[in-house]
Amino acid sequence: MRQTDNVIESAGIERSYKEAHTADIVLLVVDASRNLTEQESEIYTALIEKYESKIILVHSKSDLPQVAKKLLPEPILVSCNQPDSIQTLKAIIQKAIMRLFCTEGSSHLLTNRQHSLLLVLKQKLSQSIPLLEKDIAYELVSHHLQDALSELAELTGKSVSEQGMDAVFREFCVGK
């Protein structure tokens, strides 16, 4: 995310900041094989200061010489050429998600709708993982991950699709 004079790009950057604000977890992916520009460094530092508790900093291309300065003490080093690094990142994301949903001593019951959403979310994430392991454009991976985020937003109640509303009205007696 950076500053620009381009109106459309500025709108996209603003939306990214809003998404970071409302997100429960933020993956900040930095190409560690190149130096950050001064502007990138300022933006990333500001993001980390503001959202440190929910940021997972990822240094990509960890198989190449690392030249980017470390913005947090322990970034996660990831390389498409090192499958173990992808597994490590997945485990860290999974732990972060578990911290969001789990509280000690509480029992969790899922409705059929929530269970269905979780199954769809799992499927969409499973489809995205092989794309992350291949050397393809991040835009394509982003599209698949956005689909998964939509499912997650519906699961957490941050967004409700028309199908979700239909399920609520079908399963519950609302307004009677």
* 140 φ/ψ angles, rounded to the nearest 5 degrees: -70, -45
User: Among 171, 42, 17, 156, which Cα is nearest to 100's?
Assistant: 156
- Looking at the structure, tell me whether residues 99 and 144 fall in a common domain: no
Domain residue limits at 118 = 109-176
Q: What is the pLDDT of residue 173?
A: 46
Q: Kindly give the parts of the chain with pLDDT less than 70.
A: 1-4, 65-73, 102-110, 159-176
Q: What is the pLDDT of residue 65?
A: 67
pLDDT, tens digit, 9 for 90 and up, residues 57-99? 888 887 776 665 666 567 888 888 888 888 898 999 888 888 8
| Residue after which a domain boundary falls, among 46, 72, 104 | 104
Q: How many domains does the chain have?
A: 2
- Looking at the structure, tell me whether residues 97 and 36 fall in a common domain: yes
- Looking at the structure, tell me whether residues 75 and 132 fall in a common domain: no
Q: What is the pLDDT of residue 109?
A: 64
CB 92 within 8 A of CB 111: no
Single pTM value for the model: 0.52
Q: What is the pLDDT of residue 175?
A: 45
